[in-house]
Amino acid sequence: MSFALDSFNFGIVYKYRDVFLNGVLTTLEIASVCLVLSVFFGIFVALMRMSKSAFLWRPAAAYIQFIRATPLLMQIYLVYYGLPALFAFGKNINELQTGLIALTIHTTPYMAEIIRAGIESIPRGQFEGAMSVGMSPFQRMLHVVLPQALANVTPPLIGQAAILIKDTSLLSIIAVTELMSAGLYMFSDSVVATESYLTTAACYLFIYVLLLLLSHLVRRKCGANWQTR
């Protein structure tokens, strides 16, 4: 370990500090947008999956199984090459937008299953109580069920966010300038593999530690809230 640190060229890493900073910010931006979109769409997919109508739950189940059964890399290529070929507007979508679409499509089913588990964890008495005060099904879901369900599954949602951040590295294959692209750029420009990829890994580790701390904070806050009820 000491030898590795002695031979590590910190000077060249400092030279590319702005490249890595931009890569980290872009990665966080992509992950944040995809997280919000996947949770939003995940709620609808979860409700479709829980529906008693085959017209709703079968497409949702098929979508979830398809995403789980195929690698993310293939999904990125399908969106990248498929949108311009199938739709006229697809030719006007840039690489970053393509990456956002692909990652959102990939992450939504996982968020949907987490949210579905949260909804199913709500005691039946909560539904009955909302019905007794005259709430409609939509009002029950919006004001009673979903807030509690999302509170219950916040830690696993943050865990999925950590996976999402690592998945952004695959967007480098379609020339999205995120964190992995920063490491590849440094390597191609300076031809120093150790410094390039260890610095990239350290940046991902830094983001992961921040998410881990956030997860612990949320767990403690949620636990304290439930104890006071």
AA letter at 41: F
Query: Measured between alpha carbons, how far is 182 from 203 in angstroms, rounded to an integer?
Result: 11
Residue 159 burial (CB < 10 Å; 0-12/13-18/19+)?
A: middle
Q: Which residue, among 177, 57, 166, 201, has the nearest Cα to 116 in the 3D structure?
A: 57
Task: Tell me if residue 52 falls in helix, strand or coil.
Answer: coil
The CATH number covering residue 152 comes to: 1.10.3720.10
pLDDT of residue 189: 87
What's the structural domain count of the chain?
Answer: 1
- List all residues 6 or more positions away from 165 whose beta carbon is below 8 Å from its beta carbon: 27, 28, 31, 204, 207, 208, 211
Q: 3-state SS string over 129-178?
A: HHHHCCCCHHHHHHHHHHHHHHHHCHHHHHHHHHHHHHHHHHHHHHCCCC
Fill in the amino acid letter for 186.
M
Sequential pLDDT tens for the chain (229 residues): 444 555 777 788 888 889 999 999 999 999 999 999 999 999 999 999 999 899 999 999 999 999 999 999 999 999 999 888 887 777 788 899 999 999 999 999 999 999 998 888 887 777 777 777 778 777 777 778 877 887 788 888 888 998 999 999 999 999 888 999 999 989 988 888 888 889 999 999 999 888 888 877 776 765 555 444 4
pTM, two decimals, is 0.84
Query: Residue 185 sits in which domain range?
Result: 2-227
